[in-house]
Amino acid sequence: QSTVVVAGAGQSGFQAAASLRDKGFPGRVVLVGDESGVPYQRPPLSKAYLTGVAGPEQLRLRPEDFFAEKDIELVCGRVTGIDRAGSAVLLDDGSSLGYDHLVLATGARNRELPVPGAELAGVLALRTREDADRLREELERAKDVVVIGGGFIGLEFAAHAGRPVTIVEAQDRLLARVASPEISGYFAELHEKSGHTVLLGVGVAALHGTGRVESVELTDGRRLPADLAVVAVGVLPETSLAEAAGLEVANGIVVDARLRTSDEKIFAIGDCANFPCVQAGTAATRLESVQNAVDQGRCVAAVIAGEELPYDSLPWFWTDQSGAKLQIAGILADADRTVLTGDRAAGKFSVLSFRDGVLIAVESVNQPPAHIAARRLFTARPRPSYVELEASGFDLKAHVK
Ligand code: FAD
C-alpha cells in the first residue's frame, strides 16, 4: 500500500489530503502539522475572528470526524528532517514515517523587524490562531496602536482593530507589492476616512520601552506613542526542511509544472512553493493566497493519483477592509497601462491593467460581477486586448463567451 505524507496541515496540506480521497487514492494519507487542533483557515484571523464575530468553530476547515471518515491520519507534531535515501520523514518525537510521496506544505513564517526593541512585550505579529487570540486580548487594553507595514495583513488588522491606529509603510504607497497605484491610493483614502493615520515613505528605526513597548521611532526621527505595535512586514517561505534535504530552493521550494521538487518523490505546494506560473508566462512565481493553496493542493493530489496534469490555475485573491471588498484576478506584474471603470466616488469600480496591449489583471472594489467576468475572461484564452476592450467601453461582461 502506497503512503503519502503531507508535511504542514494548513490550507494547502489539508486540501492535498482531502483531494487525495476525492480522487479515490486508496493508500495511506498522513497529515502532519505542528499546530494544535484540526486544520484551520487563516483569512478570518485578520477579519471576523479578530473582531470576535467568528469563533474557533468557524475557522476549522472541517470538523474533527471528517478526518476519521476519510481515513486521513492527523498527526500533531513537527517534521524535523527528510531522509531522502530512506524515503522517510523524521518527527520531533523521535519517530519516523516512511513515504512513497511526500508533499511539503509548510507555508510561510512572518518576516521579523530587524530593529532594536523588536523583542519588547506588546510587539506582536499575526499568522496563527494563537497570534490572533493574543492580539484580541491586547486590543482590549491598548491605547495607542501602531501597525508596521501597509500590506494586506497590516491593513486588514487596522480595518478590524475597532479603533483608530497609525499605519507606517516604508514604501511610498500602501499595498505596493500587490496592487496598482490606483488601488493603493483608494485604500489610503479609505483608511484615512476611517480615522486611521497613514504614514508613507518612512520606516521604523527602533522600538522603545522598558520591558514593554512605549513608542515607535521612525527613520525620520519622529516618535509615535505605542503600547501595541503590530509587525506586518511580509512573510518568508518556510523552506528549512527542503534546504536541509538538499532540494532546490530559490524564494521558495522550486517545483516544476506538476509541483514536483528536484526529487521526484517530493512535491511542494502553497505559500512555500515557487512554481512556473502559466498565467504569468511560466515565470517563476510564489503566491500567498487561499486560491493558490487550494488549487495546488488539488493539483498535487491529482498528480499523485496518476493524472499527470500541469498546474495552470488562474491566480485570484480577495481582501475585506472598511467596507471595501477588493478582489484581484490575474497577476499584476509590469503593467504599462491602466484603465479605471465604474464609479470610484461611490466605491464601486475596477482597475484594468494591461501589458503590451493585453489585459493582465483586474482589481475590483465592491464589484463582484466584474471580478467573476475577469476570471472567466482569463480562463478562456486568448486574453482580450486593450483595443477590443476599448471598443466595448471596457465592459468585461461583453467579452465573456
Ligand atoms: P499555511 O496555511 O500557513 O499552513 C502551513 C502549515 O504548516 C502551518 O500550520 C505550519 O505551522 C505548518 N508547518 C510548517 N513547518 C512545519 C513542519 N516542519 N512540520 C509540521 N508542520 C509544519 N489569503 C487570501 O487569499 N485571502 C485572504 O483574505 C487572506 N487573509 C489572510 C489573513 C491572515 C491573517 C493570514 C496569516 C493569511 C491570509 N491569507 C489570505 C493567506 C493564506 O491564508 C495563505 O496563503 C494560506 O494559508 C497558505 O496555505 P499553506 O498551506 O501554504 O500555508
Interhelix angle for 152-160 vs 181-193, to 10°?
20
CA distance 129 to 44: 10
CATH fold, domain 112-233, is: FAD/NAD(P)-binding domain (3.50.50)
Residue 32 CA: which ligand 1 atom is closest? 20
Same fold, 3-109+236-304 and 112-233: yes
| Residue type at 348 in one-letter notation | K
Query: What digits encode the pLDDT tens for the residues 23-81?
Result: 999 999 999 999 999 999 999 999 999 999 999 999 999 999 999 999 999 999 999 99
Residue recorded with cell 491566480: 315
CA distance 156 to 151: 9
For residue 40, what pLDDT is reported? 98
Residue 290 CA: which ligand 1 atom is closest? 25
Distance 10 CA to ligand 1 centre (A): 6
The answer to whether the CB of 315 is under 6 A from ligand 1 is no
Distance 330 CA to ligand 1 centre (A): 21
Query: What digits encode the pLDDT tens for the residues 197-217?
Result: 999 999 999 999 999 999 999
Nearest-CA residue for ligand 1 atom 23 is 289
Nearest-CA residue for ligand 1 atom 30 is 43
Distance 130 CA to ligand 1 centre (A): 13
Residue 290: what are its φ and ψ, rounded to 5°?
-65, -45
The answer to whether the CB of 45 is under 6 A from ligand 1 is yes
Neighbours of 366 (CB within 10 A): 18
Domain ranges of the chain: 3-109+236-304, 112-233, 323-399
The answer to whether the CB of 297 is under 6 A from ligand 1 is no
Query: Above 90 in pLDDT, residue 380?
Result: no
For residue 343, what pLDDT is reported? 97
% of the chain surpassing 70 pLDDT: 100
CATH fold, domain 323-399, is: Enolase-like; domain 1 (3.30.390)
Lowest mean pLDDT among 229-238, 332-341, 350-359, 377-386: 377-386
Distance linking the first and last C-alpha atoms of the chain: 45
DSSP type of residue 177: T
The answer to whether the CB of 144 is under 6 A from ligand 1 is no
Query: Above 90 in pLDDT, residue 383?
Result: no
The answer to whether the CB of 7 is under 6 A from ligand 1 is yes
Query: Above 80 in pLDDT, residue 381?
Result: no
ipTM at complex level: 0.99
Q: Mean pLDDT over residues 335-340, rounded?
A: 96
CA distance 375 to 381: 11
Is pTM beyond 0.90? Reply is yes
Starting at the edge strand found earlier in the chain, the sheet holding 316-321 runs 316-321, 324-330, 358-365, 348-355, 337-343
- Out of 3.50.50.60, 1.10.167.10, 1.10.10.10, 3.40.50.150, the CATH code matching 3-109+236-304 is 3.50.50.60
Q: Mean pLDDT over residues 166-182, rounded?
A: 97
Query: Above 90 in pLDDT, residue 185?
Result: yes
For residue 97, what pLDDT is reported? 98
Please say whether the beta carbons of 356 and 348 come within 8 A: no
Q: Mean pLDDT over residues 130-136, rounded?
A: 98
